[in-house]
Structure 1
């Protein structure tokens, strides 16, 4: 598994958290009870594991590309870096709004709208990386450089913990019913449904 395979695999784990957030918003808007703590813990996941670990790993890929002469101030690198910054800001805002909702100072709908903004940003960002950026990285970075980047990934993960295990913990801590579409699609049941 090379550095890009690791990042793609992490995207799948982050997507699981996006699915939890999607279901939480749908459930809450449908009149179901959804604790604002779910959103606060999700924000912690986003700040610690997505920003602190995953985006830091992508930053190592960016640095390797810059070292090979790709300009950082314009184009794809600048756009992806800007999206990382917006994601960090939205995650911080999500944490604060979740706390305010828990105190009764803000309405849940504000939390739901902010959550949807984050999920849209993340999914668009992932699509851009997997569709355009990662193929470009594979073309531009030789195997030896990719191996050095991958070694840096291990140090980053050691400092933050496993992104996959954190996604597991969030799913299990906040069981939500599957959406009707997910049940009807015949998709594999998720672990929180059987619990």
Structure 2
């Protein structure tokens, strides 16, 4: 279950690539959660699933939260500010959809989180694999739109100086100087 260390990396000087690298981690952690649900159904609670549950909790509680903030507080406002009059309605619509997605993802995560907390504490939990699959599917759909529409738009619209500010803000959020 622990394949999370061989992932692409990017620095704050390349914030869009950093978001893509985070998407890879989100998808891998979603797959981990799916395996946790399957493991619980087949094997029950054991040390492996306790460790995996704690790992998924740490990831989504810290990096996942920061990732949404990176977009909500930095990238979305930068895109809206950079949008021309003709681009603005499309950018506003995209940002609105992605913000709505974030709300839905947070709601799904809160359901999954409660189950993972129980398992990470070594207690048995009914963790429907369909719930884990729903989280994965929701993130896959969201990431597909971000990588297919949002990030190409950001690459086209945002000047280097703006991307530097976005990256610096992302670094500050994580306590990196």
The aligned residue for residue 43 of structure 2 is: 32
CA contact 1:2–1:150 (8 Å) conserved in 2: yes
Q: How far apart, in 2, do the equivalents of 1:88 and 1:43 lie?
A: 13
Superposed displacement of residue 40, structure 1 = 6.0
Aligned ranges 1:135-146 → 2 under 5 Å:
135-146=152-163
Q: How far apart, in 2, do the equivalents of 1:132 and 1:95 lie?
A: 29
Superposed displacement of residue 74, structure 1 = 4.7
Pair 1:143–1:73, CA change in 2 (3 A): closer
The aligned residue for residue 86 of structure 1 is: 104
Q: Which runs of 5+ in 2 are unaligned?
A: 1-12
CA contact 1:40–1:95 (8 Å) conserved in 2: no
Q: How far apart, in 1, do the equivalents of 2:174 and 2:89 lie?
A: 27
Is 1:4 equivalent to 2:16 in the alignment? yes
Q: How far apart, in 2, do the equivalents of 1:154 and 1:86 lie?
A: 26
CA contact 2:16–2:151 (8 Å) conserved in 1: yes
Is 1:57 equivalent to 2:74 in the alignment? no
Pair 1:34–1:73, CA change in 2 (3 A): farther
CA contact 1:43–1:91 (8 Å) conserved in 2: no
Superposed displacement of residue 87, structure 1 = 1.2
What do residues 139-191 of structure 1 show as CA deviations (whole Å, max 9, x unaligned)? 111111111111111111228xxxxxxxxxxxxxxxxxxxxxxxxxxxxxxxx
Superposed displacement of residue 15, structure 1 = 2.1
Give the match's secondary structure for 2:133.
Answer: helix
Q: CA RMSD in A?
A: 2.7
Superposed displacement of residue 71, structure 1 = 5.5
CA contact 2:79–2:91 (8 Å) conserved in 1: no
TM-score, normalised by the number of residues in structure 2:
0.73
The aligned residue for residue 108 of structure 1 is: 127
Is 1:68 equivalent to 2:53 in the alignment? no
What do residues 9-64 of structure 1 show as CA deviations (whole Å, max 9, x unaligned)? 111222221221232233334x223457444652443232212x111111210011
Q: How far apart, in 2, do the equivalents of 1:34 and 1:120 lie?
A: 25
Is 1:14 equivalent to 2:31 in the alignment? no
